[in-house]
Amino acid sequence: MDALIDLLPELWTATYETLYIVALTLFLGGLGGLCVGLGLYLTRGGSILENRALFFILNFLVNFIRPIPFIIFLAAAQPLARAVTGSGIGNNAIIFTIALAASFAMARIVEQNLLTVTPGVIDAARSVGAGPLRIIFTVLLPEALGPLILGYTFIFVALVDMSAVAGYVGGGGLGNFALQYGYRQFNPIVTWAAVLLIIVLVQFVQFLGNYLARKALRR
Amino acid sequence: MAVVSLRNVGKIYAPTSKGAASVTAISDVSLDIEAGDIYGIIGYSGAGKSTLVRLINALERSTSGEIWVKGQNIAAMRERDLRQVRLGIGMIFQQFNLLGSRTVARNVEYPLEVAGHPKEQRAARVTQLLDFVGLSDKAGSFPDQLSGGQKQRVGIARALATQPSILLADEATSALDPETTHEVLALLKRVNAEFGATIIVITHEMDVIQTIATKVAVMDQGRVIERGPVFDVFSNPQSAASARFVSTVVKGVPSPAELAVLRQRHAGRIVTLAFRDSAVDQSAVFGELARAGVGFEVVYGGINEIQGRAFGHLTLALTGADAVVDPVLDHIRTLTTVTEGR
């Protein structure tokens, strides 16, 4: 317990770092996932921008990256992270790698949620002269908003999970804190302090996501 | 002048997977739809009627032929140019297809947004449209709070927003109960009468055709097999499929099975007389029978009215010796068509 009190400054820093990593990856990965997911949805057979070749490539890419366990992906994508962020280690590198992995995970969730939009409303929009871009912003995204919010809430938890291994490439955060000060120094109280904080964070975000989704779905 | 004119239009769907056969949805359809018509297109599921109507606003592209809409061949146009054409063609759907994330008012406003009308102008137009369909009090409601009939009225208001001169109704009443169906059909009739819009109605229900259409085309297996004024097709269908559709709303000539049942109950000769328009005087026919002393009983049939004109078939069971009946029937044959049920 005393050890934990001594470590409080480090704990707050780690919490802040986790929030920072997760917030940034949620934004970047969320945006990437939205783009790739829209790409999958729009190019599939019978959709408004049907393009078999593009769909095949996107679909292959998503299937290729998604099954790689994140800790291995982290190592495998390190040269790419170095090329993009300038360094293969540290928070920026891990943010890049998580955002990349999350984009492909999120893409499937986005695609699935868009597929729940009845094709008829797209026909209705086309029948009044709406073009593809307008259909995306005035029909597809608003109609799928409720499930999309739940999808983003779901991916948030996955991001917290992924950020926990940041310590392996010199990143910070609660995962690193728990391993470094709790596990390696045989202090379960310190480990559990980190676990508790993560649980509180996840519960809060899940609650917020449910609330927003309910509002979007009006039920 | 025809506002919509199809010339040898065909639509073939490419095979969905390797080795599968391509599907011919529409083949060689030519059709002229005049301004102000309420043109019904009837056919069973899979006859191609929904595909046909979707070709008229190019939601689906034809694979052959020409589709002239208000003087433009839209079959030859690019998707981008079609958007302008679509503003002049309203469409309503079987499943209404309202945007669930928008209120009733914002659904009706949608086509006006797409057309780029300024905001104040849009609000005024929406108020006017909701008033026309009788849903002013539902402006702030969401579609899932409405009944089927109300949803379709919102659909109609939305389709009319940009004042299109053509309205396509794709099975617009098929998801509604009979009473609501008649409300919606009455509304479509008003759209035709008050705005002069040409309406193309796709349906599998002959009742819908009987209620509002002025002209009808019967489709079967991707082809138009019969067309003409509704009265003509109803009173004198030329094809077996048309006759089947007509028989769903009109009791005409008894089928062989029905005739067999009639035979069991009535010993005498059974004849069916056609009455078309007021060309045939019923009292003259019945007068003949009475004068000759031939007893008769009406056992089947009915008289219908379509667009203010009456027609129908009456099947009579006659009592009397052949020697008496034959000359009378010969005389009645000079007045109208007589079919003897044997």
Mean pLDDT computed over every residue of chain B = 90
Q: How far away is chain A from the Cα of B191, in angstroms, using its nearest Cα?
A: 18
Out of B95, B101, B115, closest to residue A142 by CB: B101
In the block, which residue shows the tokens 């809430």?
A: A153
Name the region of B244 (left: φ>0; alpha: ψ -120 to 50; beta: rest).
alpha
Does pLDDT of B311 surpass 90? no
Q: Residue A147 is part of which domain span?
A: 2-217
Out of B80, B114, B142, closest to residue A128 by CB: B114
User: Residues B250-258: what's their mean pLDDT?
Assistant: 81
Note the pLDDT of residue A219.
64
Is CATH 3.40.50.300 correct for B2-249? Answer: yes
Interchain proximity B99–A121, CB inside 8 Å: yes
Nearest chain A residue (CA) to B87 = A128
Interchain proximity A128–B162, CB inside 8 Å: yes
Does pLDDT of B55 surpass 90? yes
Question: Hey, is the C-beta of B72 within 8 angstroms of any chain A C-beta?
Answer: no
User: For residues B25 and B63, is the Cβ–Cβ distance under 8 A?
Assistant: no
Does residue B285 or residue A70 have the better pLDDT?
A70
User: Residues B301-314: what's their mean pLDDT?
Assistant: 83
Out of A45, A126, A218, closest to residue B59 by CB: A126
Mean pLDDT check: name the lowest of B67-76, B84-93, B119-128, B326-335: B326-335
Does pLDDT of B169 surpass 70? yes
- What is the CATH number assigned to the segment(s) B256-341? 3.30.70.260
Q: How far away is chain A from the Cα of B310, in angstroms, using its nearest Cα?
A: 39
User: Residues A44-68: what's their mean pLDDT?
Assistant: 93
Among B96, B99, B108, which would you mutate to test the A interface (most chain A Cβ atoms within 10 Å of its Cβ)? Answer: B99
CA distances from B280 to B274, B277, B309, B314 (A): 8, 7, 12, 12
User: Residues B263-270: what's their mean pLDDT?
Assistant: 85
Note the pLDDT of residue B278.
66
Question: Hey, is the C-beta of B193 within 8 angstroms of any chain A C-beta?
Answer: no
Note the pLDDT of residue A18.
93
Question: Hey, is the C-beta of A111 within 8 angstroms of any chain B C-beta?
Answer: no
Q: Report pLDDT digits (tens) over A70-91.
A: 999 999 999 999 999 999 888 8
Q: Domain segments of chain B: what residues?
A: 2-249, 256-341
Question: Hey, is the C-beta of B110 within 8 angstroms of any chain A C-beta?
Answer: yes
CA distances from A34 to A29, A109, A112 (A): 8, 9, 11
Q: How confident is the model at residue B174 (pLDDT cuts 50, 70, 90)?
A: very high
Q: Do domains B2-249 and B256-341 have the same CATH topology?
A: no
Q: Report pLDDT digits (tens) over A152-181.
A: 999 999 999 999 888 888 888 999 999 889
A175-186 b/e (C-beta count within 10 Å ≥ 16 → b): bbbbbbbbeeee
- Please, what sign has the CA dihedral across residues A103, A108, A111, A117? negative
Domain tally, chain A? 1
Does pLDDT of B258 surpass 70? yes
User: Residues B106-111: what's their mean pLDDT?
Assistant: 97
Percent of chain B whose predicted confidence (pLDDT) is above 70: 99
Does pLDDT of B342 surpass 70? no
Q: Report pLDDT digits (tens) over B4-19.
A: 999 999 999 988 777 7
User: Residues A46-69: what's their mean pLDDT?
Assistant: 94
Read off the CATH number of the domain in which A110 is found: 1.10.3720.10
> What tokens appear for B304 in the block?
């219908």
Mean pLDDT check: name the lowest of A60-64, B47-51, B147-151, B232-236: B232-236
The distance of Cα B179 from the centroid of its chain, to the nearest Å, equals: 17
A contact residues 1-60, partner B, Cβ 8 Å cutoff? 45
Note the pLDDT of residue B309.
83
Nearest chain A residue (CA) to B98 = A121
Q: How far away is chain A from the Cα of B189, in angstroms, using its nearest Cα?
A: 21
Note the pLDDT of residue B281.
74
A168 Cβ contact partners less than 8 Å away, ≥ 6 residues apart: A71, A74
DSSP state letter for B320: S
Question: Hey, is the C-beta of A127 within 8 angstroms of any chain B C-beta?
Answer: yes
User: Residues B319-335: what's their mean pLDDT?
Assistant: 86
Does pLDDT of B251 surpass 80? no
Question: Hey, is the C-beta of B317 within 8 angstroms of any chain A C-beta?
Answer: no
Helices and strands (H, E) in chain B, number of each type: 12, 14
> What tokens appear for B109 in the block?
């406003």
Q: Report pLDDT digits (tens) over A123-152.
A: 999 999 999 999 999 999 999 999 999 999
